[in-house]
Chains A and B, each alone.
Chain A
Amino acid sequence: MRTVAVVGASLAGLSAARSLRKQGYDGRLVLIGDETHRPYDRPPLSKEFLAGGLGEADLALETDGEDLGAQWLLGARATGLDATARAVRLADGREIRADGFVIATGAAARRLPGSDGLTGVHVLRTLDDARALRDELARGGRLVVIGGGFVGAEVASTAYALGLDVTVVEAAPTPLAAPLGREMGGIVSALHLDHGVRLLCGVGVKGLSGERKVEAVLLEDGRSIPADLVVVGVGARPCVEWLEGSGITLDDGVKCGADGRTSLSGVVAVGDCANWYDPRAGRHRRVEHWTGAQERPAAAVATLLAGGAVEPGVPRPPYFWSDQYGVKIQFAGHAAGADSVTVEEGAPDDRNVLAVYRRAGQPVAVLGMNQPRLFTRWRKQLAAAS
């Protein structure tokens, strides 16, 4: 293999490039990123960066003096993959030919239909999004967060600490019920109420009002919530439109084997855009977690370099973290399918909990709130058990 093109220059793309070099690949390496920034870390965008505690230099993922011997094409959007000619087409007309491809194009924030052109309405996914939101948050006022998921909750927590008047609107009866289950989703989302942040659940958003600038969020039950600023945190969709027509199998992202291989030879996919087969669950899962973007490229790159002849190891159970209102929230495993949840340590009322999810008596997931030591032990146990 003489040229490998990594499409996507965020955590998953950078991890893939690092893995290629670590695994002995010494050929030409091209990294293509549609943002103009070098790889940066996203988790602080809803927390320390948004609050002003970290600057842009602190977000850099590359270490000082790190040199992957790669050619960087930044501000270059991929528009197509030609499997026959083995080339990535870019929006500016260039074509990058390669023998191997790593697809790492990530996911894009979902927007609220009809909110285009209205100032004061934000999504949060990229550094540019965070810059714009940070500048507006600094002016204070009334913030309505649409969506009570992790990004929405972290923005609410950060904005609360900055002194804004914050309301969170969530369409589901309980926020975070999908990742954490209803009971624990209720306990974690109660953090909003502890701090006087309003939480409106079980009500959809009908639209926004305002001429040029947003003035209110209109709810389906007829209520109107005044807003100087709105953050839409309603999830993300995999960025794979550019692969349509390439012959690669798409199904909620790029469909991959347990080793990252796609339906096209010499093409692997990693990160938020990749729908990997999960041998534990016996089905495909697209996991939008930082740790997956960081850990999985090693396996995908091994597959690519070996021409698909490697036996994939069983990945560690998915893990993610969140920080809200000074509480460290950690979760590993899959809550779906658990038939019981037990608090093993701490007390929900103190927002200090180590809870274990089990199916037929076997642990399948673990949640920690301010319990890093015990959480690590359970996380290890979970990995060993499966």
Chain B
Amino acid sequence: MMIPACRLADLPRGEAFRLDIDPPVSVFHTDDGEVFAIDDTCTHQDASLADGWLEGCEVECPLHASKFDLRTGAVDSPPAKLPVRTHEVLIEDGMIHVRVSTDAPNLPPCVAARLAGGPA
């Protein structure tokens, strides 16, 4: 599924845009001008990576210290142990689109429990 996120011109370098789907996805515009999309929720605990510390191609969770590689989704620091999903990004006519991965997301225990217990 291809979802329009935001206009590239509205997303300055070093900033992130959160796409409020379930689970949310975030689009990052790096200082080098690249655009990446990954799952927004840290796999350790409920926190929005769009609020995190972006440096190069890595984002650090705003709460704790887990760092995720925007290119691969890999986590390189505890406390998180699982990667986040990466999503394909397409920019057309200045609009950023995200093709959401069909893989199962790695959600933190509290969020996974909430989704499982919530309405279907």
- A residues near B (Cβ < 8 Å) are 11, 41, 43, 48, 53-54, 58, 60-61, 63-64, 290-291, 294-295, 319, 321, 328, 330, 372-373, 375-376, 379-380
* Contact of A43 with B79 at beta-carbon distance under 8 Å, contacts A58-B109, A376-B51, A379-B53 already known: yes
Does B90 lie at the interface of the complex (its beta carbon under 8 Å from any beta carbon of A)?
no
- Give the distance to chain A from B47, nearest Cβ to Cβ, in Å: 7
A54 surroundings in chain B (CB, below 8 A): 109
A11 surroundings in chain B (CB, below 8 A): 78
A-B CB contact pairs (8 Å), 19 listed: A11-B78, A41-B79, A53-B110, A54-B109, A64-B81, A290-B65, A294-B77, A295-B65, A319-B65, A321-B63, A328-B63, A330-B63, A372-B47, A372-B63, A373-B48, A373-B51, A375-B62, A376-B51, A376-B52
- Give the distance to chain B from A155, nearest Cβ to Cβ, in Å: 19
How far, in whole Å, are A295 and B61 apart by their CA atoms in the complex? 15
B81 surroundings in chain A (CB, below 8 A): 60, 63-64
Does B64 lie at the interface of the complex (its beta carbon under 8 Å from any beta carbon of A)?
yes
Q: Are A61 and B78 in contact (CB under 8 A)?
A: yes
* Contact of A53 with B62 at beta-carbon distance under 8 Å, contacts A11-B78, A372-B47 already known: no
Among A63, A294, A328, A373, contact of B65 (Cβ-Cβ < 8 Å): A294
- Give the distance to chain A from B22, nearest Cβ to Cβ, in Å: 20
Q: Are B53 and A376 in contact (CB under 8 A)?
A: yes
- B residues near A (Cβ < 8 Å) are 47-48, 50-53, 62-65, 77-79, 81, 109-110
Residue of B nearest to A63 (CB): B81
* Contact of A372 with B65 at beta-carbon distance under 8 Å, contacts A61-B79, A64-B81, A294-B77 already known: no
Q: Are A294 and B78 in contact (CB under 8 A)?
A: yes
Residue of B nearest to A380 (CB): B53
- Give the distance to chain A from B13, nearest Cβ to Cβ, in Å: 14
Residue of A nearest to B55 (CB): A380
- Give the distance to chain B from A61, nearest Cβ to Cβ, in Å: 5
- Give the distance to chain B from A368, nearest Cβ to Cβ, in Å: 9
How far, in whole Å, are A41 and B79 apart by their CA atoms in the complex? 7
A379 surroundings in chain B (CB, below 8 A): 53
B65 surroundings in chain A (CB, below 8 A): 290-291, 294-295, 319
A328 surroundings in chain B (CB, below 8 A): 63
